[in-house]
Structure 1
Amino acid sequence: MMRKLIVMLLIGGISLLGITPALAQEVYELKQYEKLTGKKIEFKEAPMLRVKVAAGELPPVEERLPEEPLVVKPIEAIGKYGGTWHRANLGVLSFQVYCEVEEHLFSYDEYCTKILPNIVKGWEISEDGKTVTFFLRKGMKWSDGAPFTADDFVFCWNDILLNKDLTPVVPAKLTIEGEPGTIKKIDDYAFSLSFAAPYSMVVEMFANAYPPMIFAPAHYLKQFHPKYTSMEKIEKMMKKEGFASWQDYFKTKNDTNGGNPERPVIGAWYPIDERGSAIQRFLRNPYYFKIDTEGNQLPYIDKIEESLMADAEAILLRALAGELDYQALRISSVANYPVCKQNEEKGDYRVIPQVPMGAGINLCTLYFNFFHKDPILRDLFRNKKFRIALSVAINREEISKLLFKGLANPSQVAPSEKTPWYVEEYAKQYTEYDPKTANKILDELGLVWDKNHQYRLRPDGKQLRFVISAFTPWPPENVEASELIKGYWEDIGIKVVVKPVDRQLWVTQVTAAEFEVASYAAAGGSYGQPAVS
C-alpha cells in the first residue's frame, strides 16, 4: 500500500516564517522536445478516458490535445494513472481550488530566473514597451471541449474587467498611470495588450502567484451577460435561481474558484459539486493541454476529494489517522510538527519537514497600503523611516518563542537562505528589537505624543491609529502574531485595531486597496503590495 504523505512546511522568518514550495518542473514545446531528444512522441491517455473514447463519449486523445501541447518533465519519474487524492480544508472552498481548475499564462523555472510558457506558448514586446503580443496554443480547448481562443481574452477584458457593473475598480496590475490597457484580437490564437506607458514587468506579473484573470469561457458566460442576451431572458433565469441582481448572478456563474461546476475550466481537474457539499469532488480534465515526456496526457490522478471540515484540529486528526493522501494546508505549523512526527508509523504516512529548494515564504508579513485614500496615512505608509520605526518596534524573537517554539527565524521579507538570491543584509535589516530607536524616529517625524503621553498624534492633530486586517485561514498563527504586533506598536504610541478577516473579504479588500495594513504571507518577497522593509 502506498504511504500517505504529509508535508510540514515549517522553518523560516518572522514577521515572516519562511517555508518552501515544491520544486518547479522543466517544460518544453512539443517540437522543441522532439528535436532535442530525437524521438517522436505518441500520445497516451488515462484508462478512464480510454473507456469513454471506446464508448464514443469522447474524441481520441490526439483530437483533445492542442497541436502543440506543453511537455512537462517529471521531477522524479513518470507517474502512474489513476487514484483519488483525498485532502481536507475548512468549511468553504479554498483559494487552493483555483490552482486545480485554472492556469497562468506563464510560469517560472525552479529559481524564478526564467519565464516559461504555459497557456501562452510565446510572446513579443514592442520596442516602446507599451504593447505585448501573446500567442496561444492552436487547438487548445476548455474542459467541455469548446475552443480556447483569443475571443475568451477579449470577452473577459472588455465585457468583465472594463464593465463597471461587474468590476467597479480595474485591478491595479492591469493599469499604467491609472489607465487600463486595451486589448486587440489579431487572430484566433493571438492577441495584444497595449498600455499608455511602457509596462516592463507585465509578463513577469502574469507569471506570478494569482495574477488578475484576463480570460473567461465566453461561449458559456455570454448567456448571462446583457450585452449578448436580453435582460428579459436573464431575469427569468435569475428568478428561477433566486438572484436579485444580474451582477451577482453573473459573478456566481463566473466563479473561478470551483464554485460553479457548470463553468468550463482549463486546469487539470474540473469541479463536479456545488458549494455547500460536505465533500468537494474534482475529475480529471479530458482536454488538459499538458503531457509528460512519454506522451501521457496529464494529470496522473483521476479524482480529488476535498472534505470540508469544521476546524483545523479536525483536519489534523484525519491526517494523523492516515486518511489524507497529501496535506499541508491548515496543518503546516511548528506546533503540529511533533505530534505529526510521533504518529508517522501509526498513521502510515511520512512527514517532509522542508522541501530543499524554493524561494521560501515569509509568514506574518505586513503590507502597508501605499494607495490609501487618507493622504496622511498614505504619506506615512510610503515613508521608509516610518516603516523602519514600526519594524524595529517588533520583538520578533518573542513572537518566535511564543508562537513558534523559538524555531522561527526573525527576518525581513526576503528570499530564504536556501536560495541563490539570499543576501543577509536584506533579510536582517531593521529586525533587531529596538523600541528606543523606534520612538526616536517617530519623534523626528513630528508624530508627537498627546498631552497625557498615551498615544501619538497625526499631523492634523488626530490620534494616530490604523487597522491590521489579519488573514484568518492561514498561517494559523497570523491573528495571534498580529495581536502581539499591536502591543509592540501601542508601546510606541500608535493605536492599532486587529481585525480578523476571512479569505473572501481579505482578497476583496486587498485587490481594491481598501485596507490600511494587511497581515498574511509573502513568497520570498513582496506579495503584490508593499511590505515591511
Structure 2
Amino acid sequence: MTSRRQHPTRRTALLLGAGALAAQGLPRGALAREPNPMDFIDSPFWAEKVAAGTLPVIALRLPEEPRVIEVSGPDRIPGRHGGTMRMLMGDQRDIRMMTLYGYTRLLVYDDNLELAPDILEAVDVKDGRIFTLKLRQGHRWSDGSPFTTEDFRYWWEDFANNRRLSPGGPPQALLAGGEKPDFEVLSETEVRYSWSKPNPIFLPSLAGAQPTYIYMPSGYLKQFHERYADKVTLYARVKATRVKDWGSLHERFSRMYRPENPDLPTLDPWRNLTPLPAEQFTFQRNPYFHRVDQAGRQLPYVDEVTMTIGTNSLIPAKTAAGESDLQARYLRFDNYTFLKDASKRMNFEVRLWKRAEGSWFALMPNLNAIDPVWRDLNRDVRYRRALSVAINRKDINQVIFFGLAKESGNTALPESPLYDASNASMWMQADRALANRLLDEIGLSRRDADGVRLLPDGRRLEFTVETAGESTEETDILDLIKQDLHEVGIKIYPRSAQRDVFRRRILAGQTVMSAWAGMDNALVAAEMEPDALAPTSSMQFNWPRWGQFLESGGREGEEPELPEAQELVRLYQAWRSSVTHEERRAIWRTMLRINAEQLFTIGVVNGTLQPVVVSRNLRNVPEKGLYSFEPGAFFGRYMPDTFWFDDAQVKS
C-alpha cells in the first residue's frame, strides 16, 4: 500500500480492506494475505467444546473480515497454539497489565508509529472533524454476544452523558474547543462523530495505552443501569453487593481497563477468569478474538496467561528462580547482572530493551515557586542553561549506566520521526567555564567564604532538590550532580518524600526544584498530542500552576507569564485545531525546538536500558525493543498474542 496526500478539505478513507489508515496525510502500512474462511485454524484448547456443540466452529466465531497479522521477520515466525505464559506482579491492580500487553484498541500504533485499524475495519475522516467508524461485521465479545454500534450508543447516551455515571461529562478527547460531537448511528456497523471544528486528539486517544473507551458491552451492562433494569432486581443487586446505589454497582462491574470482573465481556486476546481477591489470576484465550495470522490461525497462540501476585521487592529473585516466562515489570537496570548470572542456570534469557522516556532523569526548576527570588531565578534561561552545562553527563552515564545510556536533553528519541540531533545536544555539553560566565552575567558573582554564590538578597545559592525517592539510581545521580554544581558555586541538598506529599509541595510552590523523569513518551509522532511540551497539567513539575490554569479553563492556577511559555500554549492550541499532518508536524518541531533552547526541564540521560526476562521456549519476543507506556503499552505494540512456546508440553 502506498501513502496518499490529499488537500485538507478532501475526504481521506481509512480502509483496512486495503490495509490502510491514512488520516489526512498519514502514510499507510502493509496488507497481509487474507485467508479463505476454510483455512481458519482453531486452537485444540477448544476442541471438546466445539465437538460438544457448546462453542461454534472457528469460522463462525471470527468476524467476516478478521484482522490478518503478518507474523514474519527476523524475530518473528508463525507459531502454534498452546501453553501457559507465567508472569509475576506486585499488586492485584496490576491485572491492568493484561489490558496493556494485549493492546487491543479501535486503532493501534504500528511499527512505524502510524495509526492503523485494529478492532475497527475502517475509518473515514473528513476535514479533520467528521469521523465515520466502521466495525467488522460479525465481530463478537468474548461471551459470544454481538459487538455492534449499540455498544457505542450505550456508552455515549447511557454512560458518557449520564450525570450519575459521568458527572464530569464526556472525556476531553470527545470535546473540540469544549464542544461535544454530534453522534450518529448509521447502521449496525457504522457510527459517526462530527464536530464543527477539527479534533486531532480523537483518533490518537483511541490508540492510547490507557485508551479513551467509547464503547461498552451494552448487553451485559444494561442489567446494572436504572434505565433498563427491573427496579426491584436492581435494588436487590445494590443491596447484595453492598454499594451505595445503582451507579456504584455499574461502576464496579464495568471496568474495562482493569479487568476485575470475570463476567464482563472483553475484546482482548485473553479474558480474566479469577475474581478478586486472589494470589493468582488466570487469563484464558478469547474464543472470539478478531485477529488471525497469515495462515488463518486464530490468535493468540498462547492459550492461558497466569499472573501471580507477590511482594514487588521479591520479583527479581522469583524471576531469577525461573518463575516467570515474560517479565519486565518490577525489574530494574541494577538487577541485570544478578539476572544474567541466574540465566546461566535457568531456562531464560535476559534482554536489554531501550526505555523511551525523553529523559530517564531530569531536573525540574519550579517556575511557579512562591519565593519571588527563587521564582525569578528559575525563570531566567541563563540560570537554567548554567545548571545544564555544569552537569557532567558523561560521568553520570559511565558511573550509573556503564556508558550504555545516551547523554541527552529531554526530547524525542532517534527512533521518533520528529527526532532532531541538535535538540538532543543543545546545552548538554559539560562546560564549567560557561556555567560560571552565565551565573556571573545574571548577577550571582558574589560568594561566601565556602565558595557558595549569594542571591541578590544575600542568601546562599543553596536549595533542596526534592524527589519521590523511588530508585537508588536517582539518588546516585543527584550525588554526582551535587558535586558538579558545587564546582560552580551552587549547593544542593537532595531530599526524598512520599509521592503524594512530593506532588502537593510542588503544586503549592514550596519546592524550588524537583527531580523526575522527562517526557513520558519520546517516541513521538505528529499525530500525537504535544501536551507534554506546553503548560497543560498541574502534574507538570516545572510549571504546575500554569498547567493548572489551562487544565481548569482558567478557573485555577496562574496564566503563563513567560513569552516562551505563552508561545508553547499558542502552538499547542494551534495543534488542537489543526487539520493536516504537515501542520501538526511543523508545530511539533517548533515546540521541541523551544523546549530544547529554553531548558524548561533539564534532561540528563535517556535511552536507558530495561531488563526483559524471556523464557528460552518463548518465541517472537524481540531481541531488541523499545519499552514505554506510550505509545505501545510496554509489550503491547510487539503483540504478545503472537508470542508462542515451541514446546507447549513443558508448560502446565
Range into which the TM-score falls when normalised by the shorter chain: 0.7 to 0.9
Structure 1 counterpart of 2:104: 103
Q: Distance in 2 between matches of 1:180 and 1:405?
A: 51
Q: How many residues end up aligned between the 2 structures?
A: 478
Structure 1 residue 43 displacement after superposition: 1.0
Tell me whether 275-284 or 97-106 shows the greater mean CA deviation: 97-106
1:522 correspondence with 2:528: no
The AA in structure 2 aligned to 1:183 is F
- Which residue, out of 38, 42, 45, partners 1:45? 42
* Alpha carbons of structure 1 residues 399 and 196: separation in structure 2 relative to 1, 3 Å: farther
Structure 2 counterpart of 1:326: 326
RMSD: 4.6
Q: Distance in 1 between matches of 2:315 and 2:277?
A: 18
Aligned partners of 1:131 and 1:193 also within 8 Å: yes
Structure 1 residue 400 displacement after superposition: 3.9
Structure 2 counterpart of 1:297: 298
Q: Distance in 2 between matches of 1:455 and 1:109?
A: 48
Q: Distance in 1 between matches of 2:154 and 2:485?
A: 47
Structure 1 residue 229 displacement after superposition: 3.3
Q: Distance in 1 between matches of 2:421 and 2:98?
A: 35
Structure 2 counterpart of 1:84: 84
Aligned partners of 1:152 and 1:215 also within 8 Å: yes
Structure 1 residue 193 displacement after superposition: 1.8
Q: Distance in 2 between matches of 1:394 and 1:231?
A: 66
Structure 1 residue 61 displacement after superposition: 1.0
Q: Distance in 1 between matches of 2:156 and 2:379?
A: 31
Structure 2 counterpart of 1:14: none
Q: Distance in 2 between matches of 1:484 and 1:467?
A: 13
The CA deviation string for residues 414-469 of structure 1, in whole angstroms up to 9 with x for no partner, is: 4444566543212222434679988998999999958452579xxxxxxx999867
Q: Distance in 1 between matches of 2:212 and 2:44?
A: 35
Q: Distance in 2 between matches of 1:121 and 1:247?
A: 33
In the TM superposition, 1:230-269 aligns within 5 A as: 233-255=233-255, 256-269=257-270
Structure 1 counterpart of 2:184: 184
Structure 1 counterpart of 2:649: none
The AA in structure 2 aligned to 1:194 is S
The AA in structure 2 aligned to 1:55 is A
Aligned partners of 2:17 and 2:122 also within 8 Å: no
1:317 correspondence with 2:317: yes
Aligned partners of 1:438 and 1:492 also within 8 Å: no
The CA deviation string for residues 337-357 of structure 1, in whole angstroms up to 9 with x for no partner, is: 2222222220121222348xx
The AA in structure 1 aligned to 2:206 is F
Structure 1 residue 281 displacement after superposition: 1.0
Q: Secondary structure at the match of 2:222?
A: helix
Q: Distance in 2 between matches of 1:204 and 1:182?
A: 19
Structure 1 stretches of 5 or more lacking a match? Answer: 1-27, 457-463, 511-515
1:64 correspondence with 2:57: no
The CA deviation string for residues 341-375 of structure 1, in whole angstroms up to 9 with x for no partner, is: 222220121222348xxx944453669899x9x9x
Structure 1 counterpart of 2:159: 160
- Which residue, out of 428, 453, 477, partners 2:459? 453
Q: Distance in 2 between matches of 1:378 and 1:177?
A: 32
Tell me whether 321-330 or 76-85 shows the greater mean CA deviation: 321-330
The AA in structure 2 aligned to 1:346 is R
Tell me whether 103-112 or 388-397 shows the greater mean CA deviation: 388-397
Structure 2 counterpart of 1:146: 145
Aligned partners of 2:280 and 2:308 also within 8 Å: yes
In the TM superposition, 1:170-209 aligns within 5 A as: 170-209=170-209
Aligned partners of 1:455 and 1:495 also within 8 Å: no
Q: Secondary structure at the match of 2:262?
A: coil
Structure 2 counterpart of 1:5: none
Structure 1 counterpart of 2:51: 54
Q: Distance in 1 between matches of 2:251 and 2:434?
A: 49
* Alpha carbons of structure 1 residues 425 and 183: separation in structure 2 relative to 1, 3 Å: same
Q: Secondary structure at the match of 1:153?
A: helix
* Alpha carbons of structure 1 residues 401 and 331: separation in structure 2 relative to 1, 3 Å: same
* Alpha carbons of structure 1 residues 342 and 421: separation in structure 2 relative to 1, 3 Å: farther
Aligned partners of 1:368 and 1:381 also within 8 Å: no
Q: Distance in 2 between matches of 1:224 and 1:379?
A: 55
Q: Distance in 2 between matches of 1:51 and 1:367?
A: 59
Q: Distance in 1 between matches of 2:52 and 2:195?
A: 49
The AA in structure 2 aligned to 1:308 is I
Structure 1 counterpart of 2:428: 431
* Alpha carbons of structure 1 residues 451 and 445: separation in structure 2 relative to 1, 3 Å: closer
Tell me whether 433-442 or 90-99 shows the greater mean CA deviation: 433-442
Q: Secondary structure at the match of 1:178?
A: coil
Structure 2 counterpart of 1:219: 219
TM-score after normalising by structure 2: 0.61
Q: Distance in 1 between matches of 2:233 and 2:443?
A: 61
Structure 2 counterpart of 1:345: 344
* Alpha carbons of structure 1 residues 401 and 501: separation in structure 2 relative to 1, 3 Å: farther
Structure 2 stretches of 5 or more lacking a match? Answer: 1-14, 21-29, 445-453, 508-513, 525-529, 534-594, 596-600, 604-652
Structure 1 counterpart of 2:451: none
Q: Distance in 2 between matches of 1:384 and 1:479?
A: 25
Aligned partners of 1:364 and 1:478 also within 8 Å: no
The AA in structure 2 aligned to 1:291 is V
The CA deviation string for residues 465-517 of structure 1, in whole angstroms up to 9 with x for no partner, is: 998678x6xxx568648977997999979999855549xx99xxx9xxxxx99
* Alpha carbons of structure 1 residues 250 and 410: separation in structure 2 relative to 1, 3 Å: farther
Structure 1 residue 196 displacement after superposition: 4.4
Aligned partners of 1:30 and 1:71 also within 8 Å: no
In the TM superposition, 1:2-17 aligns within 5 A as: none
Please tell me whether Structure 1 or Structure 2 has the larger radius of gyration of its CA atoms. 2
Q: Distance in 2 between matches of 1:246 and 1:185?
A: 27
The CA deviation string for residues 365-424 of structure 1, in whole angstroms up to 9 with x for no partner, is: 669899x9x9x9999999988976776676655654564345322223444445665432
* Alpha carbons of structure 1 residues 346 and 496: separation in structure 2 relative to 1, 3 Å: closer
The CA deviation string for residues 263-304 of structure 1, in whole angstroms up to 9 with x for no partner, is: 111000000112331111100000000000011111000000
Structure 1 residue 231 displacement after superposition: 6.3
Q: Distance in 2 between matches of 1:183 and 1:369?
A: 44
* Alpha carbons of structure 1 residues 175 and 368: separation in structure 2 relative to 1, 3 Å: farther
Structure 1 counterpart of 2:584: none
Structure 1 residue 235 displacement after superposition: 4.0
Q: Secondary structure at the match of 2:93?
A: coil
Structure 2 counterpart of 1:270: 271
Structure 1 residue 178 displacement after superposition: 3.1
Q: Distance in 1 between matches of 2:380 and 2:150?
A: 44
Structure 2 counterpart of 1:229: 229
- Which residue, out of 404, 414, 417, partners 1:407? 404
Aligned partners of 1:109 and 1:115 also within 8 Å: yes
* Alpha carbons of structure 1 residues 210 and 481: separation in structure 2 relative to 1, 3 Å: farther
The AA in structure 1 aligned to 2:360 is C
Q: Distance in 2 between matches of 1:402 and 1:169?
A: 50
The AA in structure 2 aligned to 1:79 is G
* Alpha carbons of structure 1 residues 318 and 494: separation in structure 2 relative to 1, 3 Å: closer
1:283 correspondence with 2:273: no
Structure 1 counterpart of 2:308: 307
Q: Work out the percentage of aligned pairs sharing the same amino acid.
A: 26
Q: Secondary structure at the match of 2:184?
A: strand
The AA in structure 2 aligned to 1:40 is N
* Alpha carbons of structure 1 residues 85 and 248: separation in structure 2 relative to 1, 3 Å: same
* Alpha carbons of structure 1 residues 38 and 270: separation in structure 2 relative to 1, 3 Å: closer
Structure 1 residue 135 displacement after superposition: 0.8
Tell me whether 46-55 or 486-495 shows the greater mean CA deviation: 486-495
Structure 2 counterpart of 1:119: 119
Aligned partners of 2:443 and 2:456 also within 8 Å: no
